[in-house]
Amino acid sequence: MSGADYTMQMVKLRKFKYKKIAVVVFLTVLIWVWADLALDDEQTFSGASITLGRSRSNLWISLRGESAVDINEIVLKGPVSKISEVKQIISNNPEKLKFNLDAEQHGFVSPGEYPLDVREFLRESIWIRELGLMVESCEPEVVDVNVVELVQKELTVRCFDGENNPRRPESIEPEKILMFVPGIWSGERLIARVNLTRGDIEKARSEVIEKTPYIVLASGQPPRQATASVKIKMPPEGDLLKQYTIKNPKLGYCFSYNLQGKYRAEVENLREVLIITIRATPAAIQAYEENTQYHVTLDIIDSDEFEEGSNPRVVRYNFPREYVEKGDILLVNEPVKAEFRLEQISPEGQ
């Protein structure tokens, strides 16, 4: 065999060995990948939540009445390596378990109540899809999405300090603003709040400051701000409203036509109901304390006849309207709920 033939044979032999090694490596990697894919793992995660994104100004969208809802647990399934990866991702960034719901993108744009399939919603999450994971189960499985149409109404701007005490400014411009609120809001509910820090109040004594009013649609909901700010000037000698507790308060009852004369109301927390603390000008407190027949009123409606046990209802505070409209009289605390029950009045002679 010549030297050239020997060299050529060795080259072919090396090429064959390299190809064989490459095939073995490829098959080994393929087996590893197949084994990883074939061996799925499950992992349960807690601490997740669904939070609502922004919506149209004329819509109030909530999840079970809240702006967010907790997901008690999510069970994810996938290859072992992917489950390990998602564990590390969530460990480094727990915010990954906070899922944002764009209600309008899901078609929740008309007033009503809609069921949200939580499992399907989670499956649409970009990072879950990118990792190739499956959402095996979740708790809860369905969440109600409530959509309420809001209407534009004129609201009176009111100022409050850091302790939630009402503060009467020397001037507010404008005194009323337009905002979208539930259609059932009326009367004293039509108020847009402005929160003033101690620094705000001191500054506003010497110069006009600008603040943006807001409303809160329900407890637990984030505030909704007005689209424009208002200009506020505080009186130089301090707040014109002083705090009073009403002396000898009187409670009145307003029975529906069908119940009057048939029942009397027994209020279980009467002492609490009759503690009325307000902030007012001297003229307003005099008008309310001396010239009002009933300082608070409890409304009794037809459906109360069928209630068993104690029945709670917020009382009405009968502030003189002329002073309410000027902001000269304000309730310091939240309106009290009267806990009452109805007792049937026996006909005479029985």
Q: How confident is the model at residue 328 (pLDDT cuts 50, 70, 90)?
A: confident
Contact 166, 241 (CB under 8 A): yes
pLDDT in tens, 52-63: 887 788 899 888
Give pLDDT, residue 19: 55
Question: Is the model more confident about 249 or about 107?
Answer: 249
- Is the pLDDT score of 178 beyond 90? yes
Phi/psi of residue 302, nearest 5 degrees = -55, -40
pLDDT in tens, 217-238: 887 778 999 999 999 999 876 5
Q: How confident is the model at residue 7 (pLDDT cuts 50, 70, 90)?
A: low
Give pLDDT, residue 39: 53
Bridge pairing between strands 191-195 and 142-160: parallel
Give pLDDT, residue 272: 95
- Is the pLDDT score of 315 beyond 90? yes
Q: What share of the chain in percent tops pLDDT 90?
A: 43
- Is the pLDDT score of 37 beyond 70? no
95-109 burial: b if 16+ Cβ within 10 Å, else e: ebeebebebeeeebe
Q: Taking the mean position of all CA atoms in its chain, how far away is CA 163?
A: 21
Q: What share of the chain in percent tops pLDDT 70?
A: 87
d(CA 296, CA 281): 19
